[in-house]
Amino acid sequence: MHLSDEEKAMYDGRDGPAVQKAMDLLVRYGEALGAERLVETRNVCASITSTTPFQRDFALAKGGGMDAVFSEFSLDSQETVEIPKFKVFTSHLQLGFDPGQPERMGVSEEIVRFYEKSERHAAGLGAQIMNTCTPYQVGNIPTRGEHCAWMESSAVVYCNSVLGARTNTEGRESTGAAMLTGRIPYWGYHLDQNRHATHVVELDIEVESVQDWGLLGYYIGEHVQERVPVVHSRRGISRVPNLPRLKHFGAAASSSGGVEMYHIAGVTPEALTLEQALGGRAPAQVLRYGEAERRATYEKINTTGKDGEVQYVMLGCPHYTIEQIWEAAQLIEGRKVHPDCELWIFTPRAIKALADRNGYTKIIEDAGGIIMGDSCSAMSRAVPKGTKTVALDSAKQAHYLPAILGVQAWFGSTAECIDAACTGRWNGGYA
């Protein structure tokens, strides 16, 4: 792999052993990919902190230092190196629990203390403790064409598709190396030719609500897997999808399949037209999405839903926007969460602060619901005790929770979910 003079200097140790280890990993990773060179990045989104007993024991065995954990888990360096301040803007992604809710999440105080130590370490190095799967909601909105090094599939697909920035799905170790060097392999979605659409999805029906966009995303992911779809409507997309719709759409497509980049003709930045999205090439396949496909997708996501009683309603996958919290607050105002059910809503802490100030937190809490941060049920494997059946307004969460926890899942609209929370029953249905 070709290295610039600056990169060679880092690789040769000019900036100390941690940067040298980071460059060593990037070279091994880039060569594994078959990348010809690295590209500069000033925008990293990563999982950095430690939340597991294994990492705690690992740190203890190495003398208790967080540098040992960063060396192994974020740089693949078996030698403990002193970690310097990060070179570039680095946003922390979601965690395995909400450290503010240890009892609800079934986490011991001791693990929370270990996490807090690692959070202080990461923040001290320059990590922005956003703790969300939606960094683009709370201060990290890359520019079109900006080269990024992001983890988290729902954030990666949003970054590439909606913002027109460029990232592959990175991992903990490659983002660790990127923070210290400002480099990532120039491969995959960093290159123009890999960003064009390979599949056309022709809409035969209107796609409008947040739920509609999740259904469409889930359908597309199943059919195109990790390829690049372009959504097209002959009549044109009459109502341009907003942030909650595209957040849900991309998360669904990257769960049922591995979509990391999509286009919506006339809407997303690299698809002013269908032709531009395709880059002058013929599509490998043209799919049609109509009423039959929509219904079949709905039934597929609801495969596990059987029981009428619902013990848990989870909203906020990906993390809710303030607009979605506003909507939930309006739907629940004046009602009460059923005594046999719980309502947890996940959002970035920065958005929670806004919800507190707007009075939405009080409305939701007065009704018996709670707003949590930093995590979600799939990440934390935490649900209220005795949960057999959950209600969700996220196709992604409905995809993962039954597999991870063995629970039944109902997928529907936000209004149906709030109704389930207040009645303890699933009254939703295909509409």
Partner 1 sequence: MNAAVITEQQTLVIRGRKVVGGVAEGEALVTRDRISGWGGIDPRTGTVIETRHELRGQSFAGKVLVFPGAKGSSGWSAMFHMTRLMNSAPAAFLFNEMTTKMALGAVVTHAPAMTDFERDPLECIETGDWVRVDADSGVVEITKKKQEGAA
Which spans of this chain sit near partner 1 (rule: CB under 8 A)? Answer: 25, 28-29, 32-34, 47, 54, 58, 72-73, 76, 151-153, 156, 168-174, 185, 187-188, 226, 258, 378, 400, 403-404
CA-based nearest residue to 156, from 223, 235, 231, 253: 253
Q: Which helix (H) or strand (E) holds 271?
A: none
Nearer to partner 1, 45 or 313 (CB): 45
44 forms bridges with which residues in the sheet? 90, 149
Beta strands in 181-321 (DSSP E): 183-185, 199-203, 229-232, 263-264, 285-289, 312-315
Strand pairing partners for 370?
Answer: 344
CB atoms within 10 A of CB 347: 29
Least Cβ distance, residue 153 to partner 1 (angstroms): 6
Rounded CA separation 152/134 (Å): 9
Q: Which is nearer to partner 1, 205 or 405 (CB)?
A: 405
C-beta of 232 vs 248, nearer to partner 1: 248
Coil vs helix vs strand at 220? helix
Q: For residue 182, is it left (φ>0), alpha (ψ between -120 and 50) or beta? A: left
Looking at beta carbons only, is 133 or 265 nearer to partner 1?
Answer: 133
Count of CB atoms within 10 A of residue 224's CB? Answer: 23
DSSP 425: B
Least distance from C-beta 237 to partner 1, angstroms? 29
Q: How far is the CB of 329 from partner 1 (least distance, A)?
A: 31
Alpha carbon of residue 225 to chain centroid: 17
User: Shortest distance, CB of residue 369 to partner 1, whole angstroms?
Assistant: 27
Nearer to partner 1, 218 or 360 (CB): 218
For 205, the token pair is 């029906």
CB-wise, 46 or 197, nearer to partner 1? 46
Q: How far is the CB of 112 from partner 1 (least distance, A)?
A: 21
CB of 187 to partner 1, least distance (A): 7
Rank residues 136 and 360 by Cβ distance to partner 1 and give the closer one. 136
Q: Is the peptide bond before 318 cis (omega within 30 degrees of 0)?
A: yes
Residue among 117 and 172 whose Cβ is closer to partner 1: 172
Nearest distance, CB of residue 302 and partner 1, angstroms? 16
Which residues make beta-bridge pairs with 390?
Answer: 312, 409
Q: How far is the CB of 331 from partner 1 (least distance, A)?
A: 31
Q: How far apart are CA 175 and CA 14, in angstroms?
A: 21
Give the nearer residue to partner 1 in terms of CB position, either 72 or 293: 72
Least CB distance to partner 1 at residue 419 (A): 29
Q: What is the dihedral of CA 299, 304, 310, 313, to 10 degrees?
A: -80
Tell me the two tokens of residue 130. Answer: 């956003």
Residue with tokens 């090439």, as numbered in its chain: 281
Rounded Cα–Cα distance for residues 83 and 315 (Å): 37
CA 92 – CA 126 distance, rounded (Å): 10
